[in-house]
A and B are shown apart, each in its own frame.
Chain A
Amino acid sequence: MSSNTAEDGFRYYGPRPNWQWVDVAELWRFRELIWTFAQRDLKIRYRQTAVGAVWAILQPLLTMAIFAVLFGLLTAKPTSSGIPYAITCLCGLIPWKLFEGTITASTTSLVQNQNILQKVYFPKMILPLASLIPPLVDFAIAFCLLLVLMPFFGVAYSIKMLALPLVLIGLLAVSLAVSLWLSALNAIYRDVQFIVPFMLQIGMFISPVVYEMNAIIPEKWRWLYSLNPMAGVLELFRWSILGLPAPSFSSLAISLSGTLLLLLGGMFYFRRMERFFSDRI
């Protein structure tokens, strides 16, 4: 709801314009709530599980094992860098799991919290923002595993790892952008939550998760491939962790501008739909 700037000490609320920029100041005021929701989801997630947070390690490990066996049987070569498959695959899988976890949680975040949305006001964007955090915790755990495994497989740490925080921010931006679109859409069209699992499955194969882009995608199609914002981010992960050659400037530019467009569009779309959520959810 719009708050016109305070006149005579009042903050006024009325019907608001269709298109609005994100109220960053308001989100900042509510920042504690992001952590509250994230904490709630973290606490509930591994309750009544036998191994708890070990799942954060097991999931990428098992997926990696499946693909290692699969590619072994097919005698295919999904990598061209010469780095052991376990490591290069985990370098793709661990950030992909973050993306996947965020999308899965955020798509239903508004619907699952509808009872709260209908009783209390807070900026709704808090919910998709909060769904970034639990997968981020899993990411941290799995990343530690990767760091332990690398010397074991004889892979050296790259100095470019210093750039990892920046790459991570890129990954979070892509995840948030897609989350904003899907959570807002799912609040109005419940079909979205059924489509998302398929989208993620397809997404995993059209992104360089279990293979390296250079090994599989022909040179002339790389520009098209780079339209997928996850493609650029995942290649950057391999670049910074393993010291592989960086993706070309043009494909990076395509990925980055795609991400920015998606993020800005998502923010506007979310803000536009936000005011209908409590009436229609």
Chain B
Amino acid sequence: MSDVVIRVEGLGKKFKLGTSEPYYRLSEAIVGLARHAAAFPKRLFSSSTSSDASNNIPAHAPNEFWALKDINFEVKRGDVVGIIGRNGAGKSTLLKILSQITEPTEGRFGIKGRVASLLEVGTGFHPELTGRENIFLSGSILGMSKFEIKRKFDEITNFAGTDKFLDTPVKRYSSGMQVRLGFAIAAHLEPEILIVDEVLAVGDAEFQKKCVGKMGEVSKSGRTILFVSHNLAAVRSMCNKSLLLQNGIARFFGDTDHCLKEYSNSFRQPIQNHAAHLGSQIHILNAYVDLPDERLLTTDDRVTLKLVYRVSQPQITISIGLAVYREGELLFSSVNRPGASETPDPFYKIPMDPCVYICDCTLPGYFLNDGDYFITFRIYDNSNNTIAETSGIQLTIHDSATMRDDYLGIWQGMIRPQLSWNTYRQDHTLAENNYET
């Protein structure tokens, strides 16, 4: 019991949207005040019931929004807790509340020990000041004492690798250097509880590796970390516990593997029938991503896409095509013609009788990168005119650790194919002959 260092009890945060927001400008305040005064005689004469009604805020006012609702969990000393969830799930709001930046609307949280929050790299940097001055400035804002900063100064500059530029104003630093310096300061905080927001999403690969190493070191030294990230590989490798947020509600708290599984289930919600009907002889009934078990689709997995359609007239011959988009760009397309398929599709341009048919298309594993893809199916008639098509089906691929080894940064690119890499030695004389002529 004594080992609990963070206790969150019924935490909730409400935001007001639109007009109910109190005045931002003085003129609005004056207008508001005038309106209030003008309404005063009316209130004097109106019955008490109506004034009561105006005081009572309806339970679900349309311009209120609960970013977080009834969050409860406990974190023990030395836990590394990942906070995951889609965009807008309330992750950042939770971190902001726990770092005391915003106040909860209801509930409370208890903290035992010194807390440092890292919601940004290079907090408080001033561009006009030199690297040296900024180390003291940012360190002090993040909660280090001057003495502590002095003691760790050399360590910080070594870690950042910016020794040569200590007396240069930070505005002349490259953005990479600024990030390195910012993280170096943060990494040398020694709080008992560290709250981190997605800091790993910046910086070059080598530096990210350094950061992950440092985070590991910090957690091994028995300190507690709360870590928000979209990088599931990083969460899986670092966090022993995870909290899954969904629309402001805690869906799961506990073991990371279990939590990631829950997270994947949240993507399994049935994909609606995107079918569009262009021809009367063929109706698309459904198009979806096949998820065989309770797992997230990762970059390792083969992905099977299914198109279900009904043929209503006899003796129809069709072909089926597929297009995969990413970030609004066509990534590739394919058709079920024999040359484009590993094994020929038995119904390619073969007369079909009225029935429901299912068409499978399997994309290889180790092929798509992590991220969101959109897929459309098209059905063509004998002369390659489109007779039916689906709107975009979303396919979310998650990161797997397999290809990464110890690299935890962003994997650039639209796809992430597994390639054949090989290095071998070549005879000296032969090499020179080949390359020097």
Contact = CB atoms under 8 A, between A and B. Distances in A.
Are both chains from one complex? yes
Interface of A: 1, 4, 9-16, 32-33, 36, 39-40, 43-44, 47, 116-122, 188-192, 195, 275, 278-280
Contacts of A13: 100, 103-104, 108-111
B117 A280 contact: no
7 contacts: A10-B7, A10-B112, A40-B126, A44-B126, A120-B101, A120-B117, A280-B22
Nearest to A116: B124
Contact of B101 (A12, A36, A192, A278): A278
A246 B228 CA distance: 63
A38 B152 CA distance: 23
Contacts of B129: 40, 43-44
A43 B101 contact: no
Contacts of A47: 128
B111 A10 contact: yes
Contacts of A10: 7, 110-112
Interface stretch (B139-147, B203-211, B264-272): B139-147
A137 B16 CA distance: 43
Interface stretch (B25-33, B231-239, B294-302, B424-432): B25-33
Nearest to A126: B141
B104 A116 contact: no
B106 to A, nearest CB: 7
A120 B124 contact: yes
Contact of A36 (B27, B96, B137): B137
B240 interface: no
A15 B136 contact: no
Secondary structure at the B interface, as helix, strand, loop or mixed, is loop
Contacts of A275: 103
Interface string B278-300: 00000000000000000000000
A14 B100 CA distance: 9
A1 B25 contact: no
B195 to A, nearest CB: 10
B108 A12 contact: yes
Given A12-B109, A189-B23, A189-B29, 10 more contacts: A13-B110, A14-B104, A36-B140, A40-B137, A43-B129, A116-B124, A118-B96, A120-B141, A120-B143, A190-B25
Contacts of B63: none
Contacts of A9: 112
A190 B24 contact: yes
A43 B126 CA distance: 11
A188 B123 contact: no
Contact of A119 (B106, B120, B137): B120
Contact of B103 (A15, A36, A118): A15
B123 A116 contact: yes
A118 B101 contact: yes
A36 B107 contact: no
A121 B117 contact: yes
Interface string B92-108: 00001001111111111
A189 B119 contact: no
